[in-house]
Amino acid sequence: MAFNQLGDEGVRHIADCALPGLQELDLASNDIGLEGIRHLDGSPHLAQLTRLDLGYNKIGDEEVKILAGSVNLKRIRFLQAEQNQIGDEGLEAIASSQHFGCLENLILRNNPNHGIYGARQLGRSQNLNSLWNLDIGDSMGSSVSTDRMVRALLEEREKTGGLPMLEIINRRPIQELQAEIAGAGKDGGRS
């Protein structure tokens, strides 16, 4: 259903349909905003979803807070929300969500509004215990570099024991990133 300009009203129709066994829903590039997310949240028909693609929409922190609090979406294992307007508050909502315990893959590339604070919140999360693949890269327009966000996330993870299953960040093995950071520390950050 991606790239159909469904809008919030189209999402309402999908959410109202009894779709037994629906596990994957691709709503990328459909001009979805707050009302559309409210429809997804309120739909018991979507309780079996394990994969949800919301990339390239109008999703910001308020929408992410709704998703993170949704009992009906608690089985999501793959969440794609690339190229939206998600900021630190959205990352904090994901990190503290009691309903995203099944989340394994979280793709948030090209969201220009998140930074160090949000990365730290993710790094210390004790709720995302299944998350092994995280992509917060290429935050176009952000005043904070992706490298600084990854460093903050890994530092916080090390201190708090958060994200215990995390293996890949921004398509790179976590051990490789940690070795890079350790190497940068040895030469005073000069490379």
3-class DSSP state for residue 52? strand
State residue 140's pLDDT score: 58
The residue with greater pLDDT, 28 or 145, is 28
pTM value is 0.91
Tell me the per-residue pLDDT of 35-45, one tens digit each, with 9 for 90 and over.
Answer: 999 999 999 99
The type of residue at 158 is E
Confidence of residue 2 (pLDDT cuts 50, 70, 90): confident
The residue with greater pLDDT, 174 or 191, is 174
State residue 190's pLDDT score: 47
Q: CA 103 from chain center: how many Å?
A: 9
Conformational region of residue 162, where left means phi above 0, alpha means psi within -120 to 50, and beta covers everything else? beta
pLDDT of 132 > 90? The answer is: yes
The type of residue at 135 is D
State residue 114's pLDDT score: 87
Backbone angles phi, psi at 25, to 5 degrees: -140, 115
Going from the C-alpha of 12 to that of each of 4, 37, 40, 43, the distances in angstroms are: 14, 9, 7, 9
Smallest Cα–Cα separation from 86: which of 55, 126, 130, 127? Answer: 55
- What percent of the chain clears pLDDT 90, i.e. is strictly above it? 79
pLDDT of 176 > 50? The answer is: yes
Tell me the per-residue pLDDT of 69-94, one tens digit each, with 9 for 90 and over.
Answer: 999 999 999 999 999 999 999 999 99
Gap between the Cα atoms of 109 and 98, Å rounded: 23
Q: What is the mean pLDDT of residues 84-107?
A: 97
CATH superfamily of the domain spanning 7-186: Ribonuclease Inhibitor (3.80.10.10)
3-class DSSP state for residue 85? strand
- What percent of the chain clears pLDDT 70, i.e. is strictly above it? 93
